[in-house]
Amino acid sequence: MGNPRVVVLGAGFGGLELSTMLSEAFGERLDLTLIDRNDSFVFGFSKLDVMFGRTPPEAVRLPYSRIVRPGVHFRQEKITAIDPHRRQVTTDRTSYDADVLVVALGADYDLAATPGLSEAGHEFYSVRGAVALRTVLPQFKKGRAIIGVASAPFKCPPAPSEAALLLHDYLTTRGVRKDCEISLVLPFQVPIPPSPATSRALLAAFAERGITFVPGREVRSLDPARHVVILDDGREMPFDLFLGVPVHRVPDVVAESGMTEDGWIPVDPGTLATKFPGVYAVGDVAGIEVAKAGVFAEGAARVVAQSLIAEFKGGEKPPPYAGAASCYVEFGGARVGRVDVDFLSGPSPKGTFQGPSEALAREKAEFGSSRRARWFGLSS
């Protein structure tokens, strides 16, 4: 069989890694179209750097015009319809027929699902939200700050804890920490359920810094008139600054495609194949028991790429996707910890922890720069 026409929807962690691997394997013989509505990619963790003013927004945008991989054609278009039966994709410009279709469209946010969030609070999960906070945070000098999650699953489970620790540093540097309270509301009983050691280290860090941890609760709504957050058990928490993680859901175009069940696209966890022949789903959009994080999207994309290489070029099929990856955790003070989590190979998820250090902060920076080089040909 000849080389397939591959259409990859979404140029995030999953789509970028998949396109890169297939280009390396097939070179100019590849016929791959990579579609994204945006003109650039931003790492999730860069949003923390942007909101706290550690990095200007321009510096974290990685332009798709830099993708010059043999056989990969990037198209900046909005996907408006997906027909998984016919493997046909419609965009605001044209339509595409695929032999192999990979849906890597990530998760979108449903701000309206948390009444009062847009009016009285802020979110830090989108680039727009992180940029807006650059003018909001400097005005916060005293009062109660709450970092709260509206529902699980949400991207990068350590991120709200990181935001709380970095907010502590930010307020300390500005000399106003003593006039501020910080609370963190999470839907889990501990910050990182698969890794007790990571959770213990984070709980100790919160205690040392006077950050109040509210476990096992979700934020249901905000009352803009009374400036209170209302939790799922009815409890009210007054706030002066609310930094929220909105409800996550698949992008509208995915919901409308009829591919979802229980909100996400069901896949075979070992192969990432959907029930539609020739159609795969990788990353946050997939309904699979791994964390919604870039490193897992990347790992899933590698398995799909290896299996397509085996199918169309010959060779061994890859072992089933193990759902194992390393996540870096910002502890503040320029120190970063690392949790290595294996979600799928044992009977239950397991994580091991390396405590925060400057060496791991350098390793995290290297993680980012290696992807900038690999996906975008950028040297720093």
| Residues at the site binding ligand FAD, with contacts judged by CB under 6 A | 10-15, 35-38, 44-45, 47-48, 78-79, 104-106, 125, 155-156, 159, 251, 253, 283-285, 292-295, 297, 327-328
Give per-residue burial for 209-220: e unless 16+ CB within 10 Å, then b. Answer: bebebbeebbbb
Nearer to ligand FAD, 38 or 260 (CB): 38
Nearer to ligand FAD, 34 or 230 (CB): 34
CA separation for the pair 192, 289 (Å, rounded): 15
Min dist. Cβ of residue 113 to ligand FAD (A) = 17
SS3 188: coil
Residue from 27, 125, 16, 25 nearest 64 by CA: 16
Q: Cα 244 to the chain's mean position, in Å?
A: 15
Give CA angle at 169 (352, 204), nearest 5°. Answer: 40
Strands lying side by side in the sheet with 324-332:
324-332, 335-342, 350-357
Min dist. Cβ of residue 244 to ligand FAD (A) = 12
CA separation for the pair 121, 130 (Å, rounded): 13
Min dist. Cβ of residue 88 to ligand FAD (A) = 15
Min dist. Cβ of residue 33 to ligand FAD (A) = 12
Min dist. Cβ of residue 179 to ligand FAD (A) = 26
Min dist. Cβ of residue 234 to ligand FAD (A) = 28
Nearer to ligand FAD, 89 or 211 (CB): 89
Nearer to ligand FAD, 40 or 172 (CB): 40
Residue type, 356: P
Nearer to ligand FAD, 104 or 182 (CB): 104
Nearer to ligand FAD, 125 or 140 (CB): 125
Cis peptide before 153 (omega within 30 of 0): yes
Residue from 220, 299, 245 nearest 107 by CA: 245
According to DSSP, residue 131 is labeled H
Nearer to ligand FAD, 79 or 237 (CB): 79
Min dist. Cβ of residue 236 to ligand FAD (A) = 26
Nearer to ligand FAD, 146 or 295 (CB): 295
Min dist. Cβ of residue 230 to ligand FAD (A) = 24
Nearer to ligand FAD, 222 or 297 (CB): 297
Burial class (CB in 10 A: 0-12, 13-18, 19+), 160: buried
Min dist. Cβ of residue 115 to ligand FAD (A) = 22
Contacts 24+ apart (CB under 8 A), 204-212: 205/165, 205/331, 205/332, 206/161, 206/164, 206/165, 209/165, 209/168, 209/182, 209/332, 210/168, 210/181, 210/182, 211/164, 211/165, 211/168, 211/182, 211/183, 211/184, 212/181, 212/182, 212/183, 212/184
